Structure 1
Amino acid sequence: MEAVLYVSHGSRIAAARHEAARFVEQCRRVIDIPIQELCFVELAEPDIVTGVDRCVAQGATRVIVVPLLLLSAGHAKHDIPAALDIARRRHPSVDILCGAPFGVHEAMIDIVIDRISEQSAPLDGESMILLVGRGSSDPDTKRDMSAIAALLKEKTNVPHVDVCFLAAIRPTLDEGLQRAHASAYRRVFVVPYLLFTGVLMKTIERKLQGFSVSDKEWHLCSYLGDHPRLVLLIQQQVLSLSSVKKGA
């Protein structure tokens, strides 16, 4: 019997954990697999190994692990595989397959555009976009965010898309906001490239308040959230992994 184990980042903020649970509920409705559980990398329970335990306790002989992560960084490359190694030793007869984060995908660009379009202001030649990423010491994070920014610029024809980060790498959020403030663009669309709400979203809101008295129009867009395109990407990944033969 198959199971799907969704792995969210985790947060101390209850609203973020509830958003992850609501998103998984949307996925459950379109994925025809009897066992579906949610777990977290950190800061919340259950953890990944416990998530696998719960699937197996319900009769799962194959667990399809789906990282609810935007980019491939430390959690996807190290933390999740390390936890799954423990789970495999605990359940040697269970086939455990792991998918990939959303990554640089056209659907992600479309979601960002949708979030910008929710604002009342036009995205035109007097506008720029500031993408705010979580940040990681993994060099792939900066590379992937730059690739997303380039695709976003190409698809929207906006004159300028800049990137900054909330942790670990530069430019920092403060630097990104200062650069946008010093630019010639009249409107700045600040897009939190985050999956769910949490401490980092609150940080962006607080920092942006300091620029609200400037002569620019600042538009804080929603984080990506439980967008239908994300549900479709998850559905496609689960179907692909479900078709993999055991031992392949």
Structure 2
Amino acid sequence: MNALLFVCHGTRLQKGRIEAEEFVKQCMASVDVPIKEVCFLELAAPSIPQGFITCIQKGATSIYVVPVFLLTANHVKIDIPKELRQLQIQYPQIEVKYGRAFGVHEATSHLLWEKITKRVSSVSKNSHLLLVGRGSRDRDVKRDLEKIAFNLQQHYGIPSIQACFLTGSSPSFEEVLWNSKQTYDQVIVVPYLLFSGLLINGMKLTIKRYVEHSQQEIILCETLGFHPILKEVLLTRINETLQTKEFAIF
């Protein structure tokens, strides 16, 4: 029997955990697989082993693992496969297939533009847009976020846009924000984050400190959250995983 196991990042904030679970459950309703479970890599329960074992207890013989992550960083490349490798050793009779993160997807530009236009009526030549990702030491994360920023700029003719990061990659959000002080009248901050959590709270504190020393208008957009476009991207990744012919060897 087949099972789908969705792996979210996890957060200490209950609101963020509930948002992640609700989003995945919306997608679950569109997929015809008998067993469907949600788990978290860290900071929340159930853990990956707990989710994996629940699938087995419900009768799963094949588990399709889908990472609910925006970009392909070390969590997706290393941490989740490490957990799955250990579980395969414990349960060698279970076949495992491992899917892809959201990654660079053309539809994402339209979602980001909707988030921007919800907060501002127009983007002028004196506006600077910051696309802010979580960040990672993995260079693919920097490359992919810059590609997403480029796609957004090309689709909607944004005059000035820059990708930056909260941790692990450069340039940092704080650095880019301060460097924009002398050049732009308005800065539009677009968090490339799925849901609420400590990271978005930290961004709000950074902006609060910044506006005390600047006359610029700083506009913070919403996280990606519940959205039909994001749901379609995840459903695409789910279907790719279900159609994978080879089982994963970790």
Please, what TM-score do these two structures have when normalized by structure 1? 0.94
- 1:24 corresponds in structure 2 to 24
Change (3 A) 1:246 1:93: farther
Counterpart secondary structure, 2:181: helix
- 2:220 corresponds in structure 1 to 220
Tell me how far 1:246 sits from its aligned partner.
5.7
CA RMSD of superposed structures (Å)? 1.6
- 2:191 corresponds in structure 1 to 192
- 2:133 corresponds in structure 1 to 133
Counterpart contact for 1:95–1:246, Cα < 8 Å: no
Tell me how far 1:44 sits from its aligned partner.
1.2
Q: Distance in 1 between matches of 2:123 and 2:76?
A: 34
Change (3 A) 1:218 1:247: closer
Counterpart contact for 2:137–2:168, Cα < 8 Å: yes
Tell me how far 1:211 sits from its aligned partner.
3.3
Map Cα deviations across residues 181-217 of structure 1 (whole Å, 9 max, x no partner): 222x332210011111111000111111133353322
Counterpart contact for 2:195–2:223, Cα < 8 Å: yes
Residue type at the aligned position of 2:103: G
Q: Aligned pair count?
A: 247
Q: Distance in 2 between matches of 1:244 and 1:13?
A: 34
Counterpart secondary structure, 1:106: coil
Counterpart contact for 1:130–1:180, Cα < 8 Å: no
Structure 1, unpaired ranges of 5+: none
Q: Distance in 1 between matches of 2:133 and 2:156?
A: 19
Please, what TM-score do these two structures have when normalized by structure 2? 0.93
Map Cα deviations across residues 116-145 of structure 1 (whole Å, 9 max, x no partner): 121143123332210111111111111111
Change (3 A) 1:120 1:12: same
Tell me how far 1:247 sits from its aligned partner.
5.0
Q: Distance in 1 between matches of 2:102 and 2:242?
A: 18
- 2:6 corresponds in structure 1 to 6
Q: Distance in 1 between matches of 2:47 and 2:123?
A: 41
- 2:76 corresponds in structure 1 to 76
- 1:201 corresponds in structure 2 to 200
Change (3 A) 1:50 1:94: same
Map Cα deviations across residues 144-197 of structure 1 (whole Å, 9 max, x no partner): 1111111111111111111221112221121011122222x3322100111111
